[in-house]
Amino acid sequence: MALDIDFVRGQFPAFSEPSLNGQAFFENAGGSYTCKPVIDRLTRFYTQRKVQPYGPYEASRLGGAEMDEARTRMAALLGVEADELSFGPSTTQNTYVLAQAVRQWMQPGEAIVVTNQDHEANSGPWRRLAEDGIEIREWKLDPESGHLNPQALEDLLDERVRLVCFPHCSNVVGEINPVTEITAIAHAAGAFVCVDGVSYAPHGFPNVGELGPDIYLFSSYKTYGPHQGCMVIRRALGELLPNQAHFFNSDVLYKRFTPAGPDHAQIAACAGMADYVDQLCDHHGGPASGAVARGAFVHDLMRAHEVELLQPLLDAVKDRNAVRLIGPSDAAKRAPTVALSLEGAAEPVAAELAKHGIMAGGGDFYAVRALQAMGVDPARGVLRLSFTHYTSEAEIDQLLDALDRVL
Ligand SMILES: Cc1ncc(COP(=O)(O)O)c(C=O)c1O
C-alpha cells in the first residue's frame, strides 16, 4: 500500500494556503507544517477551554481531560506508559532540566559519553557537567562520512560511565543510528541511555519501548504538532533521578522533570498528532487496534514514501562538482534531511533557491561540533534540504530543477 499523497496533503491547511502556493517547503527539519487536527484542537482550546484546567467546572474539566488524552494517546503510540511521557517547552529546555537532575545524581569522577554528531541540545547541557567534576568522554564521528561507529563506543565504556547520549539521527548527517544496538552496548556496561529523536520522529513515531533507551526526546513542532518538547523518561531512571519540580509533585513521574507551568493549549493539541496518525492508518487500511501497531504501520508508510523520493535527490547531488553530500548516499540508511557543503557560504544559495520557489536554509543548524568535526566551517555552513512524507514528487522535481539553476 503506497501513501495516498493527496489525502495526506489534504490534512495540512498550508497546502491550500494561497500565500504559500508554488512554494515547495524544504526546511522541514527546522519545523514542519501543522496538521489540521492539531490546529482544530488548538482553536477549540483557545475558544472553548482557555481556563485553568483540572477544575470542577465543565470547560476546565474538558481542558484537563484533553491534556491527559494527549499524554495517554501519544505515550501509547510510543510504546510507553502514560506517565513516562512529559511535555516541556522545547527539547533544549528539557535536556537542561535533565542535566540538572543528572548533575545532582552523579558523583565527581563518574563519566558521561556524548557525541560530536549531535545537535547542541543533546551535547552542551551534558558537557557542562564537567564543571562539577564529571568526566566527559566524546564519541567521535568519522570525519569523512559523519558515521558514528558503535564499536568506537565500546572503547569508551567502563564502570564509571553512567549515561550515554546520542542522536537517533543527526540533523546534518541524516544517517539513522542503530538505537537498539547502541542501547544494548551501553546497558551492558551499566550505563543509562539518552537519545535525541528530534530529527527522526518526524519521519514516523518510533516504538520507544521496543527501541530501549531510558530517555527519548523529540520536538512536536517538527512532528506536525504545536511547539512543545516531548520527553519519554522510562520509570526506572525517572524515579532514580532527583525531582526537579515542586516538592509536592515528586510522586508524579510525568511532572518530575517539567518544573514550569505547562502550556495547556499546546499540550492538549498534541492529541491532534495522534488523531493524524489514526486518520492515516484508517485511510490506508492499517490495523484496526493497538496504538503501537497502528503507529508502526503509519511509520512504515511514511518511510517508504520518503525513501522513494529521497534517492533521486541524493543521486542528483552526490557526484556534483563543488558539492559535498554529508552522510550516506543510500536513501534507506538515512532521513530525508540532506546537508550539502558547498564551496562558499550556504545561506546566499538558499536565498537564490527561494527565487525559484524553494524554501530551504543555510547555516550550522546548531550542529556546530558535527560540522567542525567533518571539516566544514560552521560560518560557511551547509545548505540543508529536508522534507517529510507530505512532500510530493512534483516538489522534488521543482527542487532538482532549482538546484540545476543555482548550483
Ligand atoms: C536534532 C535536534 N535536536 C534538538 C533540537 C532542539 O530542539 P528544540 O528546538 O525543541 O529545543 C533540534 C532543533 O532543531 C534538532 O534538530
Taking only the tens place, the pLDDT of each residue in 96-121 is 999 999 999 999 999 999 999 999 99
pLDDT at 260 over 90: no
Task: Supply the pLDDT for residue 1.
Answer: 84
Ligand 1 atom closest to the CA of 89, numbered from 1: 10
pLDDT at 261 over 90: no
Share of residues in the chain with pLDDT > 70 (%): 100
pLDDT at 52 over 90: yes
Q: How far is the CA of 153 from the centre of ligand 1 (A)?
A: 23
Is the CB of 121 inside a 6 Å radius of any atom of ligand 1? yes
Locate 53 and state its grid cell: 484546567
**Where are any strands of DSSP class E within 202-258?**
215-219, 229-233
Q: How far is the CA of 231 from the centre of ligand 1 (A)?
A: 12
- List pLDDT tens digits, range 172-190: 999 999 999 999 999 999 9
Average pLDDT, the chain: 98
pLDDT at 248 over 90: yes
- List pLDDT tens digits, range 321-343: 999 999 999 999 999 999 999 99
Spell 131-162 as b/e; 16+ CB within 10 A means b: eeebeebebebeeeebbbebeebeebbeebbb
Edge-first strand listing for the sheet containing 382-386: 323-325, 337-342, 382-386, 361-363
- List pLDDT tens digits, range 396-406: 999 999 999 99
Ligand 1 atom closest to the CA of 365, numbered from 1: 14
- List pLDDT tens digits, range 269-293: 999 999 999 999 999 999 999 999 9
Q: How far is the CA of 28 from the centre of ligand 1 (A)?
A: 12
Ligand 1 atom closest to the CA of 95, numbered from 1: 11
Locate 279 and state its grid cell: 486518520
